[in-house]
Structure 1
Amino acid sequence: MSEINSIYAHLLSPSYKQEISNWLKEDVPSFDYGGFVVGEAQEVAILYGKSA
């Protein structure tokens, strides 16, 4: 961890990563990719994914 980050590390909750994950699950339970690209103008959509 860099020096600038380490001086603020004590401000974060130990469970901050889980809290962020919970916020995303609550706010964005699922994303409608098809609805995102629907419209009257021709557009291009690029979907990224990762493999195990």
Structure 2
Amino acid sequence: MLRWVLIFLVIAVVAAVFGFGGIAGAAAEIAKIIFYIFIILFAISIVMGLLGKRRR
């Protein structure tokens, strides 16, 4: 998932350099949304990992 964030970030930067404001803004928004989803899933996996180790 982090790979998709980086892909959309690169698309946004390239589009911004060439002056495509709408495309750059859309790609940046998609990258932000995917990044936040990644952070939430990462936090959940850390919590589940800590809870799983305590039960053993």
Q: Same fold (TM over 0.5)?
A: no
Specify which structure has the higher proportion of helix: 2
TM-score by length of 2: 0.28
Structure label with greater radius of gyration: 1
Greater relative contact order (CA < 8 Å, ≥ 6 in sequence): 2
